[in-house]
Amino acid sequence: MSDQILIRGARVMDPATGRDETTDVLVGGGVIAGLGQGLAAEGAEVLDAAGLIVAPGLVDLHTHLREPGEEHKETIATGTRAAAVGGYTAVSSMANTDPVTDHAAIVAEIREKAAQAGLADVFPVGAITKGLEGESLAEMGEMVAAGVRVFSDDGRAVPTARMLRNALTYARAFPIEVVIADHCEEPSLVERGQMHEGVNSYSLGLAGRPAEAEEIMVARDIAVARLTGGRIHICHLSAARAVALVRQAKADGVRITAEVTPHHLTFTDEDLLTYDTNFKMHPPLRSADDRAALAAGLADGTIDAVATDHAPHAVEEKESEFDLSPPGTIGLETALAAVLTHAVAPGHVTLMRALEAMTSAPARILGAEGHGGPIETGRPANLVVFDPNEEWLVQAPFASKARNCAFLGKRLTGRVRYTMLRGDLTVLDGKATR
């Protein structure tokens, strides 16, 4: 195989520069070697990309890779394969591994395994508190030295305002920007809760997780971020009032960013009426009004990024009773198509804004250098090529080890054809190359 690849005739969309034009892209030596109309490259492998879109490889702020500790759900190899198939070149792995990613040795181990798999760059998220127990700060300095930029106890909120205050304050010690990312659900209001609280939870006899649980924690986090001058990121926003709080906080100059998942942009609590455990996640799917507020927040930039919260579980774990089933849906392989189908096609956000929220914006939050564009000569060739019009049925098997997918059985429009990590095709014709 030639070491040069010519992507011919695609529409290049680069949110980092605003470039949107039909042009050829030549890739060689792991970088973008040339951009321009009618590029000729002797001996290059040619990908005919007429009608396709080239964008920076997608970047995910919120992935559960499950390794080490829960390899029966997912491994770094299968998780990054799912990422590649979904068009991602970089993902950040959440800290709720076993042992918890709360020290540098685990960070190094995850990076090493990801490098061996070679399917996507993995940026491990470090735990804020030791063992995710919420009682004492993890050794953040050691993890920052090992390359960690984002810290989170995701799965649960930082339990006290004092702990959050100390984490945000302590993080200022480091020469680079360190982000504290919080899972915002007030614990006592969601204890034993199974779904969004409202008329559907009352009728289904499932304990609720009210939207106010998120609102309370987002309000707290904003106040503490203001108090400390710290840099906060709100994971998977789901409630309309919480979106409004973030919008106001940004206007007030608080150093805050936020993400939303494709499934919260797509589904509502009405989808739980058959007790399908693939729709059980934390925070839960909420009302149609909440969903509309999330789309509006994504459109106006209140919500910076789309993040998958890819949460693989074993089949038998998800096939249990609803209240015993673990929360979460996988999302890496469906994220782009879901956003195109449920946010772009209905006109809620532009295609360029959607791509920004999946590339340059998360890359900036994550400090993922070389990812998220810009698509310029000399830059690392981390790219996705997708067909915006291909309609497909989401079905198992997935590249992920898991199949607990909220989109299972749904039709989506938009499909990844090629993914390229530093010039190396990780996905060819929609299939992982290894």
Mask 217-256, x = binds other proteins (CB under 8 A)?
----------------------------------------
Other Cβ atoms closer than 10 A to 434? 12
> Is the CB of 192 or the CB of 347 nearer to other proteins?
192
The residue from 46, 137, 146, 207 that contacts other proteins (CB under 8 A) is 207
Stretch that binds other proteins, among 33-41, 142-150, 198-206, 249-257 (CB under 8 A): 198-206
Mask 311-330, x = binds other proteins (CB under 8 A)?
-----x--xxxxxx------
Amino acid sitting at position 389: N
Minimum distance from CB of 238 to other proteins (Å)?
19
Cα–Cα–Cα angle for 341, 24, 428, rounded to 5 degrees: 55
Query: Computed over its alpha carbons, how large is the radius of gyration of the chain?
Result: 20
CA atoms within 13 A on the CB side of 146: 24
Alpha carbon distance 91, 76 (integer Å): 11
The residue from 251, 274, 346, 429 that contacts other proteins (CB under 8 A) is 274
Stretch that binds other proteins, among 131-139, 197-205, 216-224, 348-356 (CB under 8 A): 197-205
Minimum distance from CB of 272 to other proteins (Å)?
9
Alpha carbon distance 138, 103 (integer Å): 7
Residue 429: closest CA among 25, 85, 56 = 85
The distance between the two most distant Cα atoms of the chain, rounded to a whole number of Å, is 66
Instruction: Tell me which residue has tokens 């993995």.
Output: 122
Minimum distance from CB of 76 to other proteins (Å)?
27
Listed in sequence order, the residues at least 6 apart from 124 whose beta carbon sits closer than 8 Å to its beta carbon are 92, 93, 95, 101, 106, 107, 110, 111, 147, 148
> Is the CB of 33 or the CB of 272 nearer to other proteins?
272
Please give the distance of CA 90 from its chain centroid, rounded to a whole number.
10
Active-site position among 309, 323, 387, 424: 309
Tokens describing residue 191: 């204890």
Size of the site for other proteins (CB under 8 A): 18
Alpha carbon distance 79, 75 (integer Å): 6
- The answer to whether the bond into 99 is cis (omega within 30° of 0) is yes
**206 touches other proteins by CB under 8 A:** yes
Minimum distance from CB of 203 to other proteins (Å)?
7
Stretch that binds other proteins, among 41-49, 191-199, 252-260, 356-364 (CB under 8 A): 191-199
The residue from 38, 43, 205, 346 that contacts other proteins (CB under 8 A) is 205
Amino acid sitting at position 9: G
- Per the annotation, the verdict on 309 as an active-site residue is yes
Minimum distance from CB of 281 to other proteins (Å)?
16
Please give the distance of CA 425 from its chain centroid, rounded to a whole number.
21
**275 touches other proteins by CB under 8 A:** yes
The residue from 1, 40, 50, 199 that contacts other proteins (CB under 8 A) is 199
Catalytic annotation, residues = 309
Binding residues vs other proteins (CB under 8 A): 194, 198-199, 202-207, 274-275, 316, 319-324
